[in-house]
Structure 1
Amino acid sequence: MNPSLPPAISPRPSACPGLWRIVAARDGGICRIKLPGGVLLADQADAVAAAAERFAGGVIEATNRANLQIRGIGAQHRELIEHLLAAGLGPREAAGDDVRNVMLSPLAGLDPLMLVDTQPLAAQILQMLESTPRLHQLSAKFAVQLDGGEGLAMLEHPHDLWLSAVELDGERWLAFGLAGCPSRALGAVPVQAGLALTRAVLERFLDLASPEQSRMRQLLETCPAEHFIAGLALEIRRDAVVLGWQRSATRTGWLGRLTQRQGLALGIAPPLGRLTPAMLRGVARIARQAGDGQLRLSPWQSAVLTNIDPAQIDAAQAELNALGLLCDAAQPLARLTACTGSSGCAKAQADTKSDALTLASGLPAGALASVHLSGCSRSCAAAHVAPATLLARAPGRYDLYLRDARLPGFGALRASDLTLKEAGAMLDLPTEHLDD
């Protein structure tokens, strides 16, 4: 271990886990590894697997922000952190870790529908966030999304700032918005001004926000978006064409065979977002043998193996299935998400992970759209409201909500105090009834 390694604690108070901040939970400590652009190299995957075995209980989770976290960590915090840093999985300065919240498509640079490769801009933004002391004042949850116009794109997770590629007058621009998802824009800048725009937005936020306003949506409650934009020292295009633009909602699937501009990719998902060390090592091995050695994490708690050799894709998919990975969106478990539940969280009212497995076992393939099981009303494991939410009220008992844009929170209450069997009967519907 490096004797100069600082104490294994971030200098900033927060309940949000990070690499340098291991947060206590019922099942032990949680360490969140923020991956640049969601990219995890095969050797780094092996390092995470080893860390989960040596310093924790062997539970690895894919998050809905395209990161990884290790659960059940024991007393060896410093040793765990040094192990992950040695694998290149975080900055050597603790203050620069929290703010590395930049989300891309898992097919950034490869998606056949993309207008802009967002990877170079993402690298510039991450470098700026890590190396600019003033930006370390941002909340550990403050997040930026770069959307290159890909078909495989998360368009439902809200971000404090989003930038989305658009073609205007035969040229590529970046439309942008605040406190939401790629949709209608507040303005646009040339692609080459993306870094300057991001810096200007982050610095203006810090100029205007009170200590209680840690997120953009909170600032906009007292500061109109028009006033915010007017103070940006940039030339911003805000004509009718830009303000009338809206991001297409067309989306490709994220599991199974995926088309790249050249070649194929393979989307996989660990059941309910959880990996064992053996599963992660197996995925890394297949990424080396059949692909380019990358695992790209996604906001669907899944991953994409890129540049897969077409001659090896059938064998790769069979091996991944044998490891317990999901490769088909029709499988019920591929459409279920669940928070940690009472086995790992003191606030949860039910063992949601176990209940989700039970629920999936009684559902036919293709019977439902996305359903989230939440152990309490905080819904920590879901970045946006699912088409259907089962909210725990007691062990094995749930209230069923269906998403309704006209209603706050989870949506419309459909039924109360359901057993898992009763919930399964109500969820055994054609997907158009639970459309996401």
Structure 2
Amino acid sequence: MLAAMPSPLPRPAVPPASPVPPARAAGARGDACPGALRLHPADDGGLARVRVPGGVLDAERWEVLGALALRHGDGDLHLTSRGNVQLRGLAPDSGEALGLALAEAGLLPSPAHERVRNIVASPLSGLDGGGARPVRDWLGALDAALCGSARAAALSGRFLFALDDGRGDMTALKADVTVRALPGDEAVVSLGGERFTVAAGHAPLAALRAAEVFLDAAARVPAGTRVWRVSELPDGSGLADAVRRRLAEEGVPARGAAVREPLPESAPPAPGPYPGALAVHVPLGRLSPTAWRELTHAGTELRLTPWRGVVVVGPAGDAAARLAAAGLVTAPGSPWPRVGACVGRPGCARARADVRADAARALPAVAASPLPLYWSACERRCGRPAEPHADVVAGPDGGYLLSVPGRAPRPVDAADPVRLAAAIAAPTP
């Protein structure tokens, strides 16, 4: 069973709601990104998004999340593309009890920062011998620095930090601030296409200062302009130099010109066994009560991944068989890791289709496709991956439009996997 950790917050009061970032930073409409203390109204009830930095959870906190889903929601745990957990189907009056329970479990170390603790990390770091150095110490230090910075509370709920142990699995996620380990006890910090290097021990501080420099730049854009992420700045140049100057004022040396050459990337872990771990994929990111209960007993620690998967650390001998029986993918060869979907009907008011059901019916098309598929119930394409993929988007007429990089959208029949696969594989005109 996963090793439990004591809760650091004894019987706290119900924490206040997170602050909304200033309008000049978040846009005139404000940042409506869901949190644990700001429930989002959906057609299937309230939605709470609990940030889990690095996706790391122990038994106590994992079981708290599952119990809250059963008590207040639909009973399932929903994984996001940032390794966080969503509870859906929440009753309108469940917010106070939910906030108190999360705080008691240590899942809300700073209520003012609960929506900005968006940190992904190489899930196999420190387990399989890959990468240049483990990133676990970076993860704890960056989370603590974020929660200790009053300035950082103004970040939007969409701003993303990525900690890469050097293998390149985080690079494709296009985070706002990426810290990547280098040989020789150094780290490269990337933001807005620019980067600089610092000593590995200074990497968490450099990541925090990079976020604060972004907030300064966002505050200078014209009023009413939406700037939640680095890529939305009208002119992102000069950010790295500004961070280096700020670090120098604190006695932290940083070197390297602001360059834009891409760093090498690597694929995420495929389902299956690894040294000291078992990688598991969760189809469409939805864990039934049976599945999340089996995960509780699967190993010594869970690491949720940005690809709607789970790395089980120190897996029990029968973990793979038990998790597979619960509907999870525990071995390579399944098409499920190459298909994703938004929540669709009946959970979203804007949805035009039950995209999850259609994605499951069309699963054979994924096996024949050169690209992964992402199904969206409307043009917003919520949750779509940053990596190259084929978009299957529900249209207003009840059909779907297929968009493949380099080609104009075309109508497709989602009920015919053979024709769908052929449309995806068609050569670019």
TM above 0.5 = yes
Which of the residues 120, 132, 138 maps onto 2:155?
Answer: 138
Q: Which structure 1 residue ranges, 5 or more long, are not aligned?
A: 405-411
**Counterpart position of 1:270:** 282
> Is residue 2:252 matched to residue 1:216?
no
Please give the secondary structure, in 2, of the residue aligned with 1:57. Answer: coil
Please give the secondary structure, in 1, of the residue aligned with 2:362. Answer: helix
Deviation (angstroms), 1:256: 1.2
Query: What is the CA–CA distance in structure 2 between the aligned matches of 1:428 and 1:256, rounded to whole Å?
Result: 29
Contact 1:201/1:232 (8 A) holds in 2: no
Deviations 1:239-296 (A, max 9, x none): 6xx95975322336331112x3xxx311112221101122101111122xxxx2x110
Please give the secondary structure, in 2, of the residue aligned with 1:110. Answer: coil
**Counterpart position of 2:270:** 254
Contact 1:257/1:265 (8 A) holds in 2: yes
**Counterpart position of 2:255:** 237
* TM-score normalised by length of structure 2: 0.85
Deviation (angstroms), 1:367: 5.6
Change (3 A) 1:113 1:102: same
Deviation (angstroms), 1:345: 1.0
> Is residue 2:201 matched to residue 1:206?
no
Change (3 A) 1:97 1:296: same
Change (3 A) 1:321 1:431: farther
Which of the residues 403, 413, 416 maps onto 1:419?
Answer: 413
Change (3 A) 1:15 1:189: same
> Is residue 2:190 matched to residue 1:177?
yes
**Counterpart position of 2:36:** 19
Contact 1:367/1:431 (8 A) holds in 2: yes
Deviation (angstroms), 1:192: 1.8
**Counterpart position of 1:387:** 389
Farther off after superposition, 17-26 or 246-255: 246-255
Contact 2:413/2:420 (8 A) holds in 1: no
Please give the secondary structure, in 1, of the residue aligned with 2:269. Answer: coil
Counterpart amino acid of residue 355 in structure 1: D
Query: What is the CA–CA distance in structure 1 between the aligned matches of 2:98 and 2:277, rounded to whole Å?
Result: 32
Change (3 A) 1:64 1:433: farther
Of Structure 1 and Structure 2, the greater strand share is in: 1
Change (3 A) 1:104 1:333: same
Q: Which structure 2 residue ranges, 5 or more long, are not aligned?
A: 1-9, 21-29
Deviation (angstroms), 1:338: 0.3
Q: How does 1:141-152 map to 2 (within 5 A)?
A: 141-150=158-167
Query: What is the CA–CA distance in structure 1 between the aligned matches of 2:333 and 2:383, rounded to whole Å?
Result: 22
Deviation (angstroms), 1:5: 1.6
Change (3 A) 1:18 1:266: same
Please give the secondary structure, in 1, of the residue aligned with 2:304. Answer: strand
Please give the secondary structure, in 2, of the residue aligned with 1:150. Answer: coil
**Counterpart position of 2:24:** none
Query: What is the CA–CA distance in structure 2 between the aligned matches of 1:430 and 1:3, rounded to whole Å?
Result: 53
Which of the residues 45, 60, 69 maps onto 1:28?
Answer: 45
Superposed CA RMSD: 2.8
**Counterpart position of 2:105:** 87
Contact 1:163/1:176 (8 A) holds in 2: yes
Please give the secondary structure, in 1, of the residue aligned with 2:391. Answer: strand
Contact 1:204/1:231 (8 A) holds in 2: no
Higher relative contact order (CA 8 A, sep 6+): 2
* TM-score normalised by length of structure 1: 0.83
Contact 1:350/1:394 (8 A) holds in 2: no
Change (3 A) 1:222 1:105: closer
Query: What is the CA–CA distance in structure 1 between the aligned matches of 2:49 and 2:362, rounded to whole Å?
Result: 28
Contact 1:332/1:366 (8 A) holds in 2: no
**Counterpart position of 2:3:** none
Deviation (angstroms), 1:215: 1.9
Query: What is the CA–CA distance in structure 2 between the aligned matches of 1:205 and 1:430, rounded to whole Å?
Result: 38
Contact 2:192/2:236 (8 A) holds in 1: no
Query: What is the CA–CA distance in structure 2 between the aligned matches of 1:123 and 1:432, rounded to whole Å?
Result: 47
Change (3 A) 1:247 1:385: closer
Please give the secondary structure, in 1, of the residue aligned with 2:178. Answer: strand
Change (3 A) 1:52 1:244: closer
Which of the residues 151, 156, 161 maps onto 2:172?
Answer: 156
Q: How does 1:14-163 map to 2 (within 5 A)?
A: 14-74=31-91, 75-91=93-109, 93-150=110-167, 153-163=169-179
Deviation (angstroms), 1:71: 0.6
Contact 2:244/2:254 (8 A) holds in 1: no
**Counterpart position of 2:330:** 327
Change (3 A) 1:364 1:399: closer
Query: What is the CA–CA distance in structure 1 between the aligned matches of 2:173 and 2:366, rounded to whole Å?
Result: 28
Counterpart amino acid of residue 413 in structure 1: A
